[in-house]
């Protein structure tokens, strides 16, 4: 990937050759560990400039300390969320809502959507979540002694929950997952094509729910009001695209990384199998060790941050996978300790933009692990196979073949 020139205001001594997309372990490789590869940055300066730490080769400042990331993510006045990541693939500028809105608009839409993904609402969804997990795992157990866990369980499980939430048919699950993979991990041809397809789908779904409302998320969005008015078509699109994309990859990837860890660490696997009450705490540690999201902000003004001359328009990367391996924040950060207490991890971000779906994601992960460990005997990564790991805006894993023969 060709990097953009280093801006004149960046001191040469603050430049490092680093990318969450192209560093060793970042490209799609068998047996690569992108989280471990990222952890090496803590041996260097607390903030540095990478000339190619975006998909398009644009440079970013990289914040390595968790405490500094929290400062950035809490300071919406200096560091904006409005990047139009998705729309930019189409040459457009509308935001995903509320992810790419700054205060005060962010608070308006966040308040609108919070009740839909509240702990109470998640509790109401839990029986359906558990039923789905059990059904899939029973099918896997009945069909043999190995499976491709992402295709057979993680994606059908996690994505189905969001499809129900959006009121979408389950028989199109593979199509939707394909769109997400092209969007998040595709090349410069497949990514814009996937973005156009998703936008057209969300626009079509919104129009359909306007004419034929049902009891689902999209109907709520097209019928609701903010500040005494209906949402614009662009606002409906921005919310719909965010919920759709967020539900297609992140939770499935988290479950994949968790099962890959347990497949390689049989003592921890047996501990959780014999003492299932430990699973909720263990899931927090696995979220710390294997988070999936890189968060990026845009400087709204010139600012000196920890000695870095950040200028208006500069990109600032707050990668959760870097914060979660900070030795100043966590004892033995590169060791997975399933009994770790007081786990102040950053897997769901921080500040006003903390992940809207965090309560649902947590329950999906815990239920998925509970039911898997209750029904599948001791499993390993199948001999002769190797998982493929991805870096990027969202870390991912595929070709995870588990065997319990």
Which ranges of 310-355 would DSSP assign to H, the alpha helix? Answer: 320-323
Are the C-beta atoms of 177 and 248 separated by less than 8 Å?
yes
Supply the CATH number for residue 185's domain: 1.10.630.10
List the beta bridge partners of residue 48.
62
Please give the distance of CA 324 from its chain centroid, rounded to a whole number. 14
List the beta bridge partners of residue 318.
295
Return d(Cα 90, Cα 108) in angstroms, integer. Answer: 26
Q: What's the pLDDT at 248?
A: 76
Nearest to 199 by CA among 81, 56, 82, 96: 96
Separation in Å, CA 63 to CA 12, 81, 293: 17, 16, 14
Separation in Å, CA 285 to CA 10, 237, 326, 351: 36, 35, 14, 20
Looking at 171-314, which runs of residues are DSSP E strands? 225-226, 229-230, 294-299, 303-305, 308-310
Q: Count CB-CB contacts under 10 A for residue 89.
A: 20
Question: How would you write the pLDDT of the chain (405 residues) with one tens digit per residue?
Answer: 455 789 999 999 999 988 887 544 445 555 567 888 888 899 999 999 999 887 766 799 999 999 999 999 999 999 999 876 777 777 788 899 999 999 999 999 999 999 989 999 999 999 999 999 999 999 999 999 999 999 999 999 988 887 887 778 778 888 888 887 787 777 778 888 988 998 999 999 999 999 999 988 999 999 999 999 999 999 999 999 888 888 778 899 999 999 999 999 999 999 999 999 999 999 999 999 999 999 999 999 999 999 999 999 999 999 999 999 999 999 999 999 999 999 999 999 999 999 999 999 999 999 999 999 999 999 999 999 999 888 888 888 999 999 999
Are the C-beta atoms of 207 and 199 separated by less than 8 Å?
no
Phi first, then psi, for residue 9 (nearest 5°) are -80, -5
Return d(Cα 316, Cα 332) in angstroms, integer. Answer: 26
For the chain, give the number of residues.
405
Return d(Cα 78, Cα 298) in angstroms, integer. Answer: 8
Peptide bond just before 104 cis, omega within 30 deg: yes
Under 8 Å CB-to-CB from 230, ≥6 apart: which residues? 224
Under 8 Å CB-to-CB from 207, ≥6 apart: which residues? none
State how many domains the chain has: 1
Strands of the 29-30 sheet, one edge to the other = 29-30, 388-390, 396-398
Per the domain annotation, does 2 fall within a domain? Answer: no
Which ranges of 33-172 would DSSP assign to H, the alpha helix? Answer: 34-39, 66-74, 85-88, 105-113, 119-143, 149, 155-166
* Residue numbers of the domain that contains 81: 12-403
Q: What's the pLDDT at 1?
A: 44
Q: What's the pLDDT at 24?
A: 41
Return d(Cα 386, Cα 117) in angstroms, integer. Answer: 36
Predicted structure pTM score: 0.92
Q: Is 349 left (phi over 0), alpha (psi -120 to 50) or beta?
A: left
| The pairing of beta strand 380-381 with beta strand 401-403 | antiparallel
Are the C-beta atoms of 247 and 176 separated by less than 8 Å?
no
């Amino acid at each position: 990937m060709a990097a953009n020139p280093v801006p004149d205001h960046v001191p040469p001594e603050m430049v490092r050759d680093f990318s969450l997309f192209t560093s060793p372990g970042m490209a799609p490789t068998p047996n690569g560990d992108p989280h471990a590869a990222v952890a090496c940055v803590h041996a260097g300066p607390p903030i540095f400039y990478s000339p190619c730490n975006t998909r398009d080769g644009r440079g970013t400042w990289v914040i390595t300390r968790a405490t500094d990331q929290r400062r950035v993510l809490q300071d919406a006045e200096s560091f904006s969320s409005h990047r139009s990541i998705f729309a930019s693939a189409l040459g457009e500028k509308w935001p995903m809502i509320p992810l790419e809105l700054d205060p005060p608009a962010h608070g308006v839409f966040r308040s609108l959507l919070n009740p839909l993904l509240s702990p109470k609402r998640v509790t109401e969804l839990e029986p359906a979540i558990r039923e789905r997990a059990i059904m899939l795992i029973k099918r896997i157990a009945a069909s043999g002694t190995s499976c491709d866990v992402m295709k057979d369980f993680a994606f059908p499980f996690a994505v189905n929950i969001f499809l129900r939430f959006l009121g979408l048919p389950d028989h199109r699950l593979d199509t939707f997952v394909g769109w997400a993979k092209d969007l998040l991990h595709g090349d410069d041809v497949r990514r814009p094509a996937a973005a156009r397809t998703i936008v057209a789908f969300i626009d079509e779904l919104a129009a359909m729910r306007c004419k034929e409302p049902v009891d689902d998320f999209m109907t709520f969005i097209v019928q609701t009001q903010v500040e005494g008015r209906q949402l614009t078509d662009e606002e409906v699109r921005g919310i719909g695209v965010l919920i759709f994309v967020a539900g297609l990859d992140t939770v499935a990837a988290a479950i994949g990384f968790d099962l890959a860890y347990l497949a390689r660490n049989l003592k921890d696997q047996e501990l959780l199998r014999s003492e299932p009450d430990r699973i909720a705490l263990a899931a927090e540690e696995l979220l710390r060790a294997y988070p999936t999201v890189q968060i990026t902000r845009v400087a709204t003004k010139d600012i000196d941050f920890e000695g870095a001359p950040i200028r208006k328009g500069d990109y600032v990367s707050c990668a959760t996978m870097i914060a979660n391996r900070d030795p100043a924040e966590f004892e033995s950060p590169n060791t997975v300790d399933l009994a770790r207490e007081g786990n102040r991890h950053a897997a769901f971000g921080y500040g006003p933009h903390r992940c809207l779906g965090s309560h649902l994601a947590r329950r999906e992960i815990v239920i998925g692990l509970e039911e898997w460990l209750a029904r599948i005997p001791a499993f390993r990564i199948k001999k002769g196979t190797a998982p493929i790991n991805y870096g990027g805006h969202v870390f991912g894993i595929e070709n995870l073949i588990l065997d319990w023969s």
